[in-house]
Amino acid sequence: MSSIPVMPVPMPKQERILRPAYEAYFEYMDRLKGFDINITDEALKVIFHIPMPGYWSDYYKAKMVGMPHRQMPDIMHYLRGLFNIVLPDHSRIWQINATKLWSDTGRIIITRED
């Protein structure tokens, strides 16, 4: 199991070339490269913990911890962003169970799918 204490950043959409989105993505790439992430399994479970906005009340944050993140960006952009950095050849991955959850802090958890 790999637990990466980095806030997940989705891969920017190609049709929307926004400089801040690409800058955040390149910073994310640099931070991920600093971790020794070794993905050798072909079936993976990936959990993206998305930090809650600071303007939410403490009551609402406590209520939402661990709940599904059902907002944009979609999970495919998070997966593309992760795999383009740590696994450039994703052809050998045949099964992925991916989840986005609200959390206090951003992190990514990668485990082997059994």
Looking at residue 13, its pLDDT comes to 65
Looking at residue 41, its pLDDT comes to 67
**Do the beta carbons of residue 83 and residue 30 sit within 8 Å?**
no
Model confidence pLDDT, tens digit, residues 18-43: 677 778 888 888 888 888 777 776 77
Model confidence pLDDT, tens digit, residues 40-68: 767 789 999 999 999 999 999 999 999 99
Looking at residue 15, its pLDDT comes to 56
- Domain extent for 108: 2-112
Sheet holding 43-51, edge to edge: 2-4, 107-112, 43-51, 95-103
Stretch 84-111: mean pLDDT: 87
Q: What is the mean pLDDT of the chain?
A: 84
Indicate the number of domains in the chain.
1
**Do the beta carbons of residue 99 and residue 8 sit within 8 Å?**
no
Bridge partners for 95 per DSSP: 43
**Residue that wins the pLDDT comparison between 79 and 1:** 79
Across the chain, the runs of DSSP E, i.e. the strands, are: 2-4, 43-51, 95-103, 107-112
Looking at residue 102, its pLDDT comes to 97
